[in-house]
A and B are shown apart, each in its own frame.
Chain A
Amino acid sequence: MTAVLENPATESPKPEVGAIPSFDVTLRIRRYNPESEHGEESIWDEFTVTAHGTDRVLDALHKIKWEQDGSLTFRRSCAHGVCGSDAMRINGRNRLACKTLLKDVNPDKPITVEPIKGLPVVKDLVVDMEPFFASYREIMPFLITSGNEPTRERLQSAEDRERFDDTTKCILCAACTSSCPVFWTDGQYFGPAAIVNAHRFIFDSRDEGATQRLEILNDKEGVWRCRTTFNCTEACPRGIEVTKAIQEVKRAMITRAF
């Protein structure tokens, strides 16, 4: 994509017929670059850009990166809330930059943008997702079956599908896990996302690995560390009822144990 400045700053204030109203917005971005003169220190950096009512935080970040400071680093891929790359802490809450309209986060004041918490920062808004994916892998996020492979697809009733529908929506953005205060403490807790994705298979009628998955999550660092603070449910950009899914996994363990 080529970045072209459509209206050079000199002629912008002239109001044209049919022009889309625009406003100036300031982004206060938490930056970290160990190779810069700041070393291991994180700093706040402010940028002001002109934006439109339809612009999202991601558009503002693009504008900064393409027009003001090419060193600003963040992840994004789909830009439409599907890939889960751009979870960040916007005005103190975890959201996807590509699903957050500037006008919804009070553009009258500087909008703070920070990397998600609890995962090691690599540069600026980019964090090391490996710990997050490590606990995701631990719950075996794949179909486990026994016997012969069927020659056609594995059928399931609409009700059986409905049972775990909510947790199939996860895009692995880590907004939930990195909003959880228990995860912040020492990062040992499996975290809501791993439990959500275990739930997706535990309650799937076609899957036979529920016992193993329950065993894995019946851990000192498993579901029992959940304190039901609901941060995860509030953070999830897919609207998954994360806390409810965790409670359902807890209940399955209790019915198994007694």
Chain B
Amino acid sequence: MAQTQTPSAIAAPRSPYARRKTTRGNFELYSWVFMRASGVVLLVLVFGHLFVNLMVGEGVHAIDFAFVGGKWSSPFWQVWDLLMLWLAMIHGTNGVRTIVNDYAQRDSTRGVLKVLLYLASTIVVILGTLVIFTFTPCPPGAPAELLPSICFPN
């Protein structure tokens, strides 16, 4: 009648249990509000970005080095893309932080995953910011047909 069976999703029934000390503070509150606020702003930024890049004028066929170069020579698109980069990265990183907290069962796993996460997002944010601000739309010596029209003022 009795048969040995597979372990259930929750292992060892008698695993030791102890509630930790309180960890009160407004951090999680601000993080929760930030997810919603940044989500709303991202809605505008992301769909505005997609619309301008894929639908307006020639649409997706217009995208090349010159198209991107042309956009980033305007402060408006620099600020737009910078905001989109930072908000998406902080929002996404914070979201993955939540997922790590929800799924990692041991503190050590949790720690390692979060260090990797923060490292990756820091690199992406710094690199992305650098590209937006140091981008040269008219690199000297490049073939003229690849460059945006702003490189030929007259």
Contact = CB atoms under 8 A, between A and B. Distances in A.
B17 A187 contact: yes
B102 A182 contact: yes
B4 interface: yes
Contacts of B102: 181-182, 185, 225, 227
A209 to B, nearest CB: 15
A38 B4 contact: yes
A35 interface: no
A44 B3 contact: yes
Contacts of B153: none
Nearest to A115: B13
Main SS of chain B's interface residues? loop
A42 interface: yes
Interface in A109-137: 114-115, 117-121, 128, 130-131, 134-135
A215 B24 contact: yes
Interface residues of A, number: 45
A185 B5 contact: no
B115 interface: no
Contacts of B12: 40
A117 B15 CA distance: 12
Contacts of A181: 102
Interface stretch (B26-34, B63-71, B78-86, B126-134): B26-34
Given A43-B2, A185-B102, A215-B24, A257 B19 contact: no
B2 to A, nearest CB: 5
Nearest to B98: A227
A216 interface: yes
A81 B24 CA distance: 35
A50 interface: no
Given A44-B5, A220-B23, A184 B14 contact: no
Interface string B22-52: 1111111101110000000000000000000
Given A41-B4, A120-B14, A135 B19 contact: yes
Given A43-B2, A43-B5, A121-B14, A131 B32 contact: no
B23 A120 contact: no
B139 interface: no
Contact of B7 (A42, A128, A215, A254): A42
A117 B10 contact: yes
Contacts of A31: 2
B13 A185 contact: no
A45 B1 CA distance: 6
Contact of A218 (B8, B19, B29, B103): B29
Contacts of B2: 31, 38, 43-45
Nearest to B30: A257
B61 interface: no
A131 B19 contact: yes
A30 B10 CA distance: 13
Contact of B9 (A45, A182, A184, A225): A184
Nearest to A47: B1
A218 B25 contact: yes
Interface in B88-117: 98, 101-105
Interface of B: 1-5, 7-10, 12-15, 17, 19-20, 22-29, 31-33, 98, 101-105
29 contacts: A40-B12, A40-B14, A42-B5, A42-B13, A43-B5, A44-B2, A44-B3, A45-B1, A45-B2, A114-B8, A120-B17, A121-B13, A121-B14, A131-B19, A182-B102, A185-B104, A187-B17, A188-B20, A215-B24, A219-B23, A220-B23, A220-B24, A220-B28, A221-B20, A224-B28, A227-B98, A227-B102, A253-B29, A257-B29
Give the 5 A-B residue pairs with the shortest CB-CB distance, closest first: A121-B13, A224-B28, A220-B23, A44-B5, A219-B24
